[in-house]
Amino acid sequence: MTFSFQAPTALEYFDSLVKSDEEFPLLEAAASIAQDEYPELDVQQVLGDVDQLLARLKRRLPADAAPLQRLRALNQFFFHDLSFGGNVNDYYDPDNSYLNAVLRTRRGIPISLAVLWMELAHGLGLQARGVGFPGHFMLKVTLPKGQVVIDPFTGKSLSREELSERLEPYKRSNGLVGDFDVPLGLYLQPATPREIIGRMLRNLKEIHHAQEDWQRAIAVQDRLVALFPEAWGEYRDRGLAHAEQGNSTLAVRDLETYLAHAEEALDIDTIAERVAALRRAES
């Protein structure tokens, strides 16, 4: 008897990681995103590289180090000794979202830096969470005497006043002032692992759409659909990318899925017209 084994595709592997919210493997799922750009990437090697960093960091600390001491040691190690920080020279480089590249260059965007930092923080036993702060992903650490909010782009701890100042443009543009204002704490709610991966993918989605790189956009959309199978707008966006790429049959399938579920969306008529045009082109 012969047995055949076929390795899963990068998308199938990602899909298996994000099926359940229980014990969601954030670091592994985030690292696997890069397999679209780096098909030969060994995700387990990326995880091993982070483990090695954690081992180096732990050797610097006594076993009974207080939480604040652990936090200070982590920030010194990550932001100063290793020089991780924001890629201010090429913020929209897709490599900033690929953890293997961020580990190599020590440069990234807030959310990719935050994922690596959080893995080290959890390894030290710190209560650290990511925060989907408007326009700029943040880190929040709970200590015995209160909370610390850190900008993963710079490593700087931010006061309530600084956070409120950063929020002002967002609040004004969305009418969240006066009677419609809400407490700062609502903007500092922890993000779930699924939300973090979604934000990473949508960052890449914006980059690929801006560059009209439809092949890469479709690969990102495939992951978004796997991550959020009932986010019907992602089917629409994948269908439109397929249409731009000339994949009419796949475009129609996705756009019709969207039309079947997004009954009250404002763009229903526009999408229906696009479907009709695609069908005419196929006939």
pLDDT of residue 247: 95
For residue 180, what pLDDT band results from cuts at 50, 70 and 90?
A: low
Average pLDDT over residues 119-130: 97
Three-class secondary structure of residue 156 per DSSP: strand
Q: Which two tokens stand for residue 257?
A: 């899925």
Query: Which ranges of 93-213 does DSSP label H, i.e. alpha helix?
Result: 99-105, 110-123, 160-173, 193-210
User: Does pLDDT of 186 surpass 90?
Assistant: no
Contact, 214 vs 205, CB < 8 A?
A: no
Contacts of 35 (CB under 8 A, 6+ apart): 10, 13, 14, 41, 43
What is the predicted pLDDT for the residue at 2? 58
Which tokens sit at 281?
């082109």
Label residue 106 by pLDDT band (50, 70, 90): very high
pLDDT at 1: 57
Question: What was the pLDDT predicted at 5?
Answer: 61
Q: Which pLDDT score, from 0 to 100, does residue 93 have?
A: 97
Q: How much is the average pLDDT of 1-26?
A: 87
Determine the 3-state secondary structure of 63 from DSSP. Answer: coil
Q: Please state, in angstroms and as integers, the Cα–Cα distance from residue 240 to each residue in 55, 224, 258, 274, following that order.
A: 46, 14, 11, 9
Query: What global pTM score does this model have?
Result: 0.93
